[in-house]
């Protein structure tokens, strides 16, 4: 018998009973295995807002809002912050200035330049002093509105690879795809952006308009859905009329919940200055109950609604927040918001915020910051001396948050 014909059989018999080898595909998969001892690079955040960390490297961040709601204004603040230290309530976390790539697909060349000359540079001088030299070499700004759509994606990815920015502003992501409602295109785009952010250690901020109709403030189309799923943080901007106040709010986050909203005005020099939240229009009955139709009542859990003889109503804040804390010593801000909105079937953040404000004014809860710098709440027990909040038994098995 030919020896060459026997060798493969003998080799197979010799391996009988041993563990099968890994396929090339599984070998590749093993590179992605996560264990408790695997050494991973620590997360590095570029900025903080109200002292909460945000805009991490190697991640995507989403910015959404209606047209002319202040998205690009906030983006210009972030770009200036890369070479300044603190603007409004934003702070740069790293000592060294950050390099910026601004890829503008929406505005005209003149508009992009106007923002640089009349907003970013003056804001830098207001923050750092008139004698400070503006480091324009840290900014790579491109307006590609007139570039063929087929080339915008290629140019964008090559620009990141070449210039190696710390912060990338993609304003807006919609103009890199042919159809924002094509699921395959949306998924492919998100995968490319995530890989690019990982490979070049940058934070990519994607700007996309909100849905045109309905109460949802989520970004538009299937592209918006994919971006919402993949982004580390999602921020929304709003222009409040008639006061002409801009509002920045964190809608979703994977870790650091920013409870406060940033409100700012534009002064006579065209630069932002911080302001208070405008008064919320309310329609109150004589006994203080809410009668506004702005917050629809039918979707609410009627167990937590107080009805009055004149047809007005209000949230039973005391019962609602007491029930939410049942079984918990304390709750983080994110957990509290989720539980309250879920239990009472509250659909809008504005109604939740109103209920939270009322609960705090009623002294139902104590608010503090724990060792991990998270905002935590603890229910005040009547006639019991208050103590410093302790983070204990925060979650129960089966909780979805």
Alpha-helical (H) ranges within 299-393 are: 317-324, 333-344, 349-361
What's the domain count of the chain?
2
Q: What's the rounded Cα separation, in Å, for the pair 204 and 193?
A: 8
Q: Is residue 108 part of a domain?
A: yes
pLDDT at res. 351: 84
Q: Are residues 237 and 173 in the same domain?
A: yes
Whether 287 shows a pLDDT value over 50: the answer reads no
Query: Among the three residues 274, 295, 310, which one is the final residue of a domain in this structure?
Result: 274
Whether 289 shows a pLDDT value over 70: the answer reads no
User: Other C-beta atoms within 10 Å of 376: how many?
Assistant: 23
Sorting pLDDT into bands at 50, 70 and 90, what band is 218? low
pLDDT tens by residue, 139-170:
999 999 999 988 999 999 999 999 999 999 99
Task: Tell me whether the omega of the peptide bond preceding residue 90 falls within 30 degrees of 0, making it cis.
Answer: no
Q: Is residue 116 part of a domain?
A: yes
Q: Are residues 234 and 287 in the same domain?
A: no
Which domain range does residue 240 map to?
45-274
Q: Is 246 left (phi over 0), alpha (psi -120 to 50) or beta?
A: beta
Sorting pLDDT into bands at 50, 70 and 90, what band is 282? very low
Q: Is residue 35 part of a domain?
A: no
Whether 253 shows a pLDDT value over 60: the answer reads yes
Q: Are residues 286 and 260 in the same domain?
A: no
pLDDT at res. 313: 84
Q: Are residues 87 and 55 in the same domain?
A: yes
What is the domain-level CATH number for residue 62? 3.40.50.300
Q: Are residues 238 and 295 in the same domain?
A: no
- Please state whether beta strands 203-209 and 167-171 pair in parallel, antiparallel, or not at all (unpaired): parallel
Q: Is residue 20 part of a domain?
A: no
pLDDT at res. 212: 63
Three-state SS for 234? Answer: strand
pLDDT at res. 284: 38
- Please state whether beta strands 90-92 and 100-104 pair in parallel, antiparallel, or not at all (unpaired): unpaired
- Which uninterrupted H or E stretch holds 88? none
Q: Which residues contact 133 (CB under 8 A, 6 or more apart)?
A: none
Q: Which of 66-75, 250-259, 286-295 has the lowest mean pLDDT?
A: 286-295
HEC secondary structure over 270-311: CCEEECCCCCCCCCECCCCCECCCCCCCCCCCHHHEEECCCC
pLDDT at res. 22: 85
- Please state whether beta strands 331-332 and 375-379 pair in parallel, antiparallel, or not at all (unpaired): antiparallel
252-284 as b/e, with b when 16 or more CB fall inside 10 Å? bbeebbbbbebbbeeeeeebbeeeeeeeeeeee
Whether 285 shows a pLDDT value over 70: the answer reads no
Average pLDDT over residues 302-325: 88
Sorting pLDDT into bands at 50, 70 and 90, what band is 286? very low
Distances (CA, A) of 23 to 20, 32, 137, 220, 279: 9, 15, 48, 41, 63
Provide DSSP, 128-175. Answer: H-TTSPP-GGGEEEEE-TTS-HHHHHHHHHHHHHHH--SEEEEETGGG
Q: Could you tell me which residue, 233 or 401, shows the higher pLDDT?
A: 233
Q: What's the rounded Cα separation, in Å, for the pair 36 and 395?
A: 21
Sorting pLDDT into bands at 50, 70 and 90, what band is 2? low
Whether 201 shows a pLDDT value over 90: the answer reads yes
Q: Is residue 13 part of a domain?
A: no
Average pLDDT over residues 164-180: 93
Q: Could you tell me which residue, 213 or 335, shows the higher pLDDT?
A: 335
pLDDT at res. 43: 93
pLDDT tens by residue, 107-150:
999 999 999 999 999 999 999 999 999 999 999 999 999 999 88
Sorting pLDDT into bands at 50, 70 and 90, what band is 290? very low
Sorting pLDDT into bands at 50, 70 and 90, what band is 180? confident
Q: Is residue 39 part of a domain?
A: no
Distances (CA, A) of 303 to 84, 285, 317, 319, 345: 51, 21, 11, 9, 10
pLDDT at res. 297: 40
Query: Among the three residues 274, 309, 337, which one is the final residue of a domain in this structure?
Result: 274
Structure tokens at 202: 């940058």
With DSSP H G I counted as helix, E B as strand and the rest as coil, what are the percentages for the chain, rounded to 5?
Answer: 35, 25, 45
Whether 233 shows a pLDDT value over 60: the answer reads yes
pLDDT tens by residue, 88-105:
999 999 999 999 999 999
Q: Are residues 215 and 297 in the same domain?
A: no
Q: Is residue 4 part of a domain?
A: no
Task: Tell me whether the omega of the peptide bond preceding residue 242 falls within 30 degrees of 0, making it cis.
Answer: yes
Give the chain's mean pLDDT.
84
Whether 283 shows a pLDDT value over 70: the answer reads no
What is the domain-level CATH number for residue 339? 1.10.10.10
Q: Could you tell me which residue, 285 or 349, shows the higher pLDDT?
A: 349
Q: Could you tell me which residue, 313 or 59, shows the higher pLDDT?
A: 59
Q: Are residues 131 and 221 in the same domain?
A: yes
Q: Are residues 49 and 89 in the same domain?
A: yes
Phi, psi of 79 (to 5 degrees): -65, -40
Query: Among the three residues 274, 309, 344, which one is the final residue of a domain in this structure?
Result: 274
Q: What's the rounded Cα separation, in Å, for the pair 347 and 345?
A: 6
Half-sphere exposure of 229 (CA within 13 A, CB side): 12
Q: Are residues 151 and 199 in the same domain?
A: yes
Q: Are residues 264 and 345 in the same domain?
A: no
Q: Are residues 166 and 239 in the same domain?
A: yes
Average pLDDT over residues 365-369: 88
Q: Are residues 220 and 288 in the same domain?
A: no
Strand partners for 378 = 366
């Amino acid at each position: 018998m030919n020896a060459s014909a026997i060798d493969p059989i003998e080799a197979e018999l010799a391996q009988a009973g041993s563990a099968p080898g890994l396929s090339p595909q599984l070998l590749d998969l093993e590179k992605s295995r996560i264990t408790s001892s695997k050494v991973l690079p620590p997360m590095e955040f570029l900025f903080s807002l109200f002292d909460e960390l945000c805009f991490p490297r190697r991640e995507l961040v989403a910015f959404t809002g209606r047209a002319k709601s202040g998205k690009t204004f906030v983006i210009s603040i972030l770009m200036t912050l890369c070479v300044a230290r603190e603007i409004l309530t934003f702070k740069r976390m790293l000592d060294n200035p950050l390099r910026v790539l601004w890829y503008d697909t929406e505005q005209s060349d003149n508009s992009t330049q106007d923002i640089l000359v009349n907003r970013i540079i003056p804001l830098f001088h207001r923050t750092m002093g008139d004698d400070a030299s503006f480091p324009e070499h840290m900014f790579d700004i491109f307006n590609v509105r007139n570039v063929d759509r087929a080339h915008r994606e290629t140019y964008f990815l090559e620009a990141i690879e070449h210039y190696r920015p710390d912060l990338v502003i993609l304003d807006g992501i919609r103009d890199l795809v042919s159809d924002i409602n094509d699921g395959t295109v949306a998924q492919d785009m998100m995968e490319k952006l995530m890989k690019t952010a990982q490979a070049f250690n940058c934070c990519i901020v994607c700007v996309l308009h909100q849905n045109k109709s309905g109460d949802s403030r989520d970004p538009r189309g299937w592209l918006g859905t994919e971006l919402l799923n993949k982004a580390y943080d999602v921020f929304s901007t709003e222009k409040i009329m008639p006061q002409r106040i801009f509002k920045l709010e964190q809608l979703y986050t994977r870790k650091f919940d920013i409870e406060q909203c940033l409100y700012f005005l534009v002064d006579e020099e065209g630069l932002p200055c911080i302001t208070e939240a405008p008064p919320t229009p309310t329609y109150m009955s004589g006994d203080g109950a809410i009668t506004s139709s702005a917050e629809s009542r039918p979707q609410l859990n009627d167990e937590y609604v107080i009805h009055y003889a004149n047809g007005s109503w209000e949230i039973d804040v005391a019962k609602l927040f007491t029930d939410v804390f049942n079984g918990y010593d304390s709750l983080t801000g994110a957990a509290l918001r989720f539980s309250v909105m879920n239990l009472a079937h509250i659909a809008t953040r504005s109604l939740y915020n109103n209920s939270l404000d009322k609960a705090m004014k009623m002294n139902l809860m104590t608010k503090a910051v724990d060792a991990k710098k998270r905002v935590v709440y603890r229910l005040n027990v009547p006639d019991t001396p208050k103590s410093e909040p302790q983070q204990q038994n925060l979650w129960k098995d089966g909780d979805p948050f």
